[in-house]
Amino acid sequence: MKMKSIKIMLAGLLAVPMMAIGASLFVPTNAFAVTCNNNDFTIQNGANCTKSPNSTTPDQLFQNGGVFQTIVNVMLFLIGAVAVIMLIYGGIRYTISGGDAKNVTTAKNTILYAIVGIIVAVLAYAIVNFILTGLMPATT
C-alpha cells in the first residue's frame, strides 16, 4: 500500500515538468520577438531580450528599486521579524522557566538561535548587495 502511494506521488511529480516541456513546444517562435544587441552579454540585456514587448514587468533587475533588491528586502524583513519574535519568545520562556534546568536550556537555545538567525540575515543581506553591486553594469 505504501509503495503504491509513493509511485503515484512520483508519477505526479514527474508529470508536471513533462507537461511544461510539452507546452513549450507549442509556443510560436515569434511570440517574444525583440530586437536584442547580441554584442552586449549582460544579465540585464538577457532579461530585456526575453521580455515581451507589451509586458509591464520592471525593466531593472539589479538597479535601485530593481526586482532582486525588492525580493531581498522583503525576505530580510520577514527573517528579521521572525528572529525578533523568537528572541522575545525565548526571553519569556527563560523568565517563566522557574529554574527548571531543562526549560532554561531550551530557552537559552531559542535565544541563541534567534541571535544567530539575525546575524545570518544581516550577513546574507550584505553578501547579496555586494554581489548585486558587482553585477550592475557601470553607468557612465
Considering only 6-20, 33-47, 63-77, 122-136, which range has the smallest mean pLDDT?
A: 33-47
56: cell is 509591464
User: What is the DSSP code string of 74-130?
Assistant: HHHHHHHHHHHHHHHHHHHHHHTTTT-HHHHHHHHHHHHHHHHHHHHHHHHHHHHHH
Domain boundaries, the chain: 1-58, 62-140
Is the pLDDT confidence value at 27 over 60? no
Where is pLDDT greater, at 24 or 12? 12
Q: What is the pLDDT of residues 33-63, one digit of tens each?
A: 455 656 666 666 666 666 666 666 656 655 6
Q: CA 80, CA 111: separation in Å to the nearest integer? A: 14
What pTM does this model have? 0.52
